[in-house]
Amino acid sequence: MSLALVVDDVKLNRDVIGSLLRLRNWQVLYAENGEEALRIFAKKPEIDVIFTDLTMPGMNGWELLKRLKEAGFKGVVIAVSGDESIKGKCIKAGFDGF
């Protein structure tokens, strides 16, 4: 079973993404911000994919991506945003998807 981490400060967004993943038999972990996501990754380095919001209080998704790469995360990081106009910027920054 694959393991995903969903990072978003809005509970409803976490729940929707998590529900879709669980329908595909993924195991899902949740974090409210980048700091919490890094703590979870430190305990669960086997995470396969991280879906992260870009705008969160504290550490945002952009900084989380940078820190994950520095920490040696080898999985996939997907940017989650309702602003379609930043898709190219996200891919250029190193996100694996949008």
Tens of pLDDT, residue by residue over 56-95, are 999 999 999 999 999 999 999 999 999 999 999 999 999 9
* Mean of pLDDT values over 13-35: 98
Q: What does the pLDDT read at residue 1?
A: 78
Sheet-wide strand order for 76-80: 27-31, 3-7, 49-53, 76-80
Which two three-digit tokens encode residue 5?
């981490």
Q: Indicate the pTM of the whole model.
A: 0.95
51, 4 contact by CB (below 8 A): yes
Instruction: Determine the Cα–Cα distance for residues 98 and 90; give it in Å rounded to an integer.
Output: 7
Question: Band of the pLDDT at 96, cuts 50, 70, 90?
Answer: very high
